[in-house]
Amino acid sequence: MDLPRSPLAQPFPDLPAIEGVIPRVARARYKEWDRCDLTVIEFAEGTAVAGLFTKSACASPEVDSGRAQIGSGRARALVVNAGNSNAFTGAAGREAVEQIQAHVAEGLGCAAHHVFVSSTGVIGVPLPKDKARAGVAAALEAEPCDWLEVTRAIGTTDTFEKGARTSAFIGDTRVELIGIIKGSGMIAPDMATMLGYIVTDAAVEPALLQELLSAANGASFGSITVDSDTSTSDTVLAFATGAAGNEPLTGHESPGCDAFASALRDLCDQLARLVVRDGEGATKFIEVRVSGAASDDSAHRVAMSIANSPLVKTAIAGEDANWGRVVMAVGKAGEPADRDRLAIRFGGVEVAREGRAVEEFDETPVARHLQGDEIIVGADLGIGDGSARVYTCDLTHGYISINADYRS
Amino acid sequence: MDLPRSPLAQPFPDLPAIEGVIPRVARARYKEWDRCDLTVIEFAEGTAVAGLFTKSACASPEVDSGRAQIGSGRARALVVNAGNSNAFTGAAGREAVEQIQAHVAEGLGCAAHHVFVSSTGVIGVPLPKDKARAGVAAALEAEPCDWLEVTRAIGTTDTFEKGARTSAFIGDTRVELIGIIKGSGMIAPDMATMLGYIVTDAAVEPALLQELLSAANGASFGSITVDSDTSTSDTVLAFATGAAGNEPLTGHESPGCDAFASALRDLCDQLARLVVRDGEGATKFIEVRVSGAASDDSAHRVAMSIANSPLVKTAIAGEDANWGRVVMAVGKAGEPADRDRLAIRFGGVEVAREGRAVEEFDETPVARHLQGDEIIVGADLGIGDGSARVYTCDLTHGYISINADYRS
């Protein structure tokens, strides 16, 4: 299936090399294709690592392993396999992961538990060990490559390469942060797990890196939805080499910690938005803003209820200011709400207020807003101070075509 | 929008008149159409009533009123308006409901709080009082009609009339139970709220009727989903006239209570299935069976996670035995599950077992099953005794066409 490039695609940014990081790619040929599909990224000794993993109860062996490894706080390598997720493959899948870890550990002269592995692709087929072995061997001997090549090698059904960069000053030291990500549904037919990798040359203690990454997650990766489905393999890893030479960040009181945390949050936000922009069949990027809720958590659940509603998503696909569907989605969220205080906005225009339609509202700017490709849906619950913002995309014939018309 | 008849439609059954019940319909012309859209059903004095209402926090004034009325346990009339849901209309909507209740109460010589009102249709437009007044006046003077005419009059985007019947013996007295229902999504563009009405000539005390109806709800109306969206107006009411002359059922120990409860459960199950069979864009009826869960409630949540998954629903639309998507949906449910004990079935064939694909399974019967229009998806979690069964339909281009391509 050759998918057209998303109309919401953005150009791949110019991502700098990060000191202490050597990416390489190779052809393992996990599928019948002629492209690099195995990535090995080598990190300098002492690189700190932090991670976020799927909440799925049926996670892949890569995720099981990653969860167990992350506690050590140190990484020497990352391996990404594209074309086979190795999920739901029993003992054979676990063995494939262990073989890759041992192979890379031997090649780089490091501990196997410092080698992280991710896989994305078809579920239920054990990752073929022979292809993995040949691919890892080829990657270990390959010339280093750039981030665009890595992003292509980790992609599956992605229709464009997704990367982002930012920087921060820690004291007088400028540190770089770059990120790449793949994914176009929460999961999809054979593929489309979300895998994101963040790399920085900053020196950050692992425990703090984990804390900052977890804090950034809620408003970024935790606030996007394409189709409400959750992959068995979703993973975000952040690696900090320390090569920039800044005074290491050890806690919130470390000078520059706020700047670094802010940059990391910004990077996660950029990456999360890119995944939604490549959402299967997406033609419009939708930001759902909920305010006036009982709490921020409550606002988040209401926002996700709106963002996951097939009727809201199809209305926006049809450029229809159908605020009744937004009311419905607020009502079904199971959160505190008062029908007679609720207000709904499209773009900047309030279309419903205090439990009924705003009779005099001007439809022209609403129609113009809905014809664009970046839509803002606002709901103010009018009962508290809680707020949240989530990103999603519209639901179109393209989604059905990708997921029903083609067979795996 | 003229929708084609659902390929899953079933013929309307021959529903008997119920003693003590007089249905009448009229043209209120809530929309630009030439059809009956206002129903008044008169019940004999002493008729018991029980009800189920939407859990939406943004319910319609009809639902607010119904919740307040149901406690009295008695009903003399039901009014159903089709074409305007009167939801999210503030004080004007409340006044319209009160006007209808006063009008019918005067016409029938009963208390206003014994007149139940339901409305279905566009959200956000107050029910026009002048049309309601003229429509009620016409209905009160109309000739009695049959259940098929009533079912047509309460319908909106429904593509076929949905009714069911059953009967039971209470002692030596045979009692009839009939039901009619409308709805084709949990909610839809302008319409498609689920409204269901059950009428019986059995004599049943209101408190027991409510208990039996609530008990029947979980496995029927509480176990269907078309698109995971919940209407602001969903209502099911059960009326028992007592005209059959049986020894009144007053509690579980009353002779015949079990038989009546069983018949009621069967009727609710039939009606719930019919709503799914008219699901927007549906081409396949899907029964999701979950077993081996930690509890029945847990099994229900896992089953709903599978039934609401766009990826599972599109896979079935594509006749694709994509069990990986079922694993994904089990994993994301947030319920206890053990990947390595999970088994997945399509029809009668196990395709995955103990955390991996069944290598030797025969694909022929699976493919044949998926080509049919009644699909069974089974998931055994292998960790307990909890089980559940829910009904849903596939997700197709038809759903997108109905909800995105046409404008409200």
ipTM: 0.84
* B 30-89: CB under 8 A from A: 54-59, 87-89
Helix (H), strand (E), coil (C) string for A225-257: CCCCCCCCCCEEEEEECCCCCCCCECCCCCCCH
Task: Order across the sheet with A21-26: list the strands.
Answer: A21-26, A38-43, A77-84, A115-122
Q: Which residues of A are marked as active site?
A: 193
When scoring A327, A371, A407 by the number of chain B Cβ atoms within 10 A, the one with the most, hence best to mutate, is A327
**Inter-chain Cβ pairs, chain A and chain B, closer than 8 A:** 236
Q: Using the predicted structure, report yes or no on whether residue A229 has a pLDDT greater than 80.
A: no
pLDDT of residue A218: 87
pTM for the whole thing?
A: 0.87
Please compute the mean of the pLDDT values over residues A347-355 and round it to a whole number: 91
* B 149-178: CB under 8 A from A: none
pLDDT of residue A187: 40
Contact between B318 and A406 (Cβ < 8 Å): yes
Of B88, B311, B342, the CB nearest to A58: B342
Nearest chain A Cα distance for residue B190, angstroms: 8
Contact between A163 and A14 (Cβ < 8 Å): no
Our answer to whether residue B193 is catalytic in this structure is: yes
Contacts of B141 (CB under 8 A, 6+ apart): none
Please compute the mean of the pLDDT values over residues A358-381 and round it to a whole number: 93
pLDDT of residue A191: 42
pLDDT of residue B269: 93
Q: Using the predicted structure, report yes or no on whether residue A244 has a pLDDT greater than 60.
A: yes
* pLDDT band (50, 70, 90) for residue A355: confident
> Which has more pLDDT, B230 or B375?
B375
* pLDDT band (50, 70, 90) for residue A188: very low
Q: What is the DSSP letter of A402?
A: I
pLDDT of residue A362: 84
Going by C-alpha positions, the residue among A64, A164, A68 that lies closest to residue A119 is: A64
Do residue B328 and residue A123 have CB atoms under 8 angstroms apart?
Answer: yes
Q: Over chain B, what is the mean pLDDT? A: 92
Q: Using the predicted structure, report yes or no on whether residue A280 has a pLDDT greater than 60.
A: yes
pLDDT of residue A189: 33
pLDDT tens by residue, B142-198: 999 999 999 999 998 899 999 999 999 999 999 999 999 998 765 433 345 789 999
Q: Looking at chain A, which residue has its C-alpha nearest residue B405?
A: A318
Q: Using the predicted structure, report yes or no on whether residue A406 has a pLDDT greater than 70.
A: no
Q: Using the predicted structure, report yes or no on whether residue B1 has a pLDDT greater than 60.
A: no
Of B55, B232, B322, the CB nearest to A189: B322
Q: Looking at chain A, which residue has its C-alpha nearest residue B401?
A: A397
Nearest chain A Cα distance for residue B269, angstroms: 23
**Residues of A with CB below 8 A from B188's CB?**
311
Do residue A57 and residue B407 have CB atoms under 8 angstroms apart?
Answer: no
pLDDT tens by residue, A159-177: 999 999 999 999 999 999 9
pLDDT tens by residue, A320-337: 998 989 998 998 898 999
pLDDT of residue B193: 72
* pLDDT band (50, 70, 90) for residue B406: low
pLDDT of residue B402: 84
On the 0-12 / 13-18 / 19+ scale of CB atoms within 10 A, A143 is exposed
Q: Does the CB of B397 have a partner CB in chain A at under 8 Å? A: yes
**Residues of B with CB below 8 A from A86's CB?**
none
